[in-house]
Amino acid sequence: MDDTAVGAIRTALSERFGEDLAVDPALPGLDELARIAGHCSHRRYLPRPVAPELLRLLCAAALSAPSKSDLQQCDIVIVSDAAIRKAIAATIADMSWIEAAPAFLVFVANGERLPLLARLRGKPFLNDHLDAFFNAAVDAGIVLGNFVRAAEAVGLGCCPISAIRDHPGVVDDLLRLPRRAVPVAGLCLGWPAGPGEISPRLSLGTTVIENAYSERDLAAEIDAYDRRRAQLRPYRRQRNLARWGQAPSYGWSEDKARQYAEPTRGDFGNFVRGKGFCLD
């Protein structure tokens, strides 16, 4: 079993990072490590429901994640009402899997409870600034990541949807989010209809730093990644041909540069401030 897991880990990480990593076959938990290393997003699902009891179990597992100062600032909204899900999906173009997925969740950064604790216990709340918002958002990210692990452990597939923040006011209204609570990401969930594809990543030389950042040629690193990725997983279509035309070589850098050449979520800051967070 472990020999298989060692091979699965090395294959997945080699495909992902272009590096052959050492794996000690004597380590426990290699099956689990293989699932973590082999993570794939899934956007197509079998027509098989996710039982409500399983959904609740996965939420509990996810909410067992570490939480900044034990503040517990992530909530999970299970969107079982088809009309609500449809209304959320209507704000997002080109993501048919949001409506098609057997289950859909929203992870919420909830900073509502912290100032309430101060009021309940007769204390001043002296930390209404960026850190409070930051902690709640990062906590939600940790819980989201943990949920994906729990879901993949039992064989489910996921696709996080940050685009629910494209029109956060709509989601806010639909889910009746409290003051100081903002959506962080949605999550499509279901039993995968097929195998996933490993998404190649920047090399570990770019993203894992020993002690301190040093001078480096990021342009060359990104170029090498573009080329490694193009061999394994070339983009199937070029983004916004009307504006940018057909690029002779289209890699990650071109795709992301095109994506962020369109203004998006410029009102997110106003939304967050409008919900009662101070970002000073």
Residues between 85 and 104 that touch a second copy (CB under 8 A): none
Q: Which of 8, 88, 150, 164 binds a second copy (CB under 8 A)?
A: 150
CB 275 within 8 A of CB 180: yes
- How many residues form the binding site for a second copy (CB under 8 A)? 137
Residue 34's φ and ψ, nearest 5 degrees, are: -65, -40
Report the alpha-carbon distance of residue 150 to residue 22 in Å, rounded. 26
Q: Is residue 13 within the footprint of a second copy (CB under 8 A)?
A: yes
Stretch that binds a second copy, among 88-96, 105-113, 188-196 (CB under 8 A): 105-113
Nearer to a second copy, 3 or 24 (CB): 24
Pairing of strands 157-161, 74-78: unpaired
Q: Which of 50, 185, 188, 189 binds a second copy (CB under 8 A)?
A: 185
Q: Is residue 24 within the footprint of a second copy (CB under 8 A)?
A: yes
CB 258 within 8 A of CB 241: no
Closest distance between a second copy and the C-beta of residue 49, in Å?
A: 13
Q: Is 212 exposed, middle or buried (0-12, 13-18, 19+ CB in 10 A)?
A: exposed
For the chain, the farthest-separated pair of C-alpha atoms sits apart, in whole angstroms, at 65
Report the alpha-carbon distance of residue 37 to residue 17 in Å, rounded. 11
Nearer to a second copy, 45 or 152 (CB): 152
* 153 token code pair: 């452990």
Closest distance between a second copy and the C-beta of residue 94, in Å?
A: 13
Q: Is residue 162 within the footprint of a second copy (CB under 8 A)?
A: yes
Q: Which of 25, 46, 51, 86 binds a second copy (CB under 8 A)?
A: 51
- Element housing 130 (H / E): helix 130-153
Closest distance between a second copy and the C-beta of residue 73, in Å?
A: 9
Q: Is residue 11 within the footprint of a second copy (CB under 8 A)?
A: no
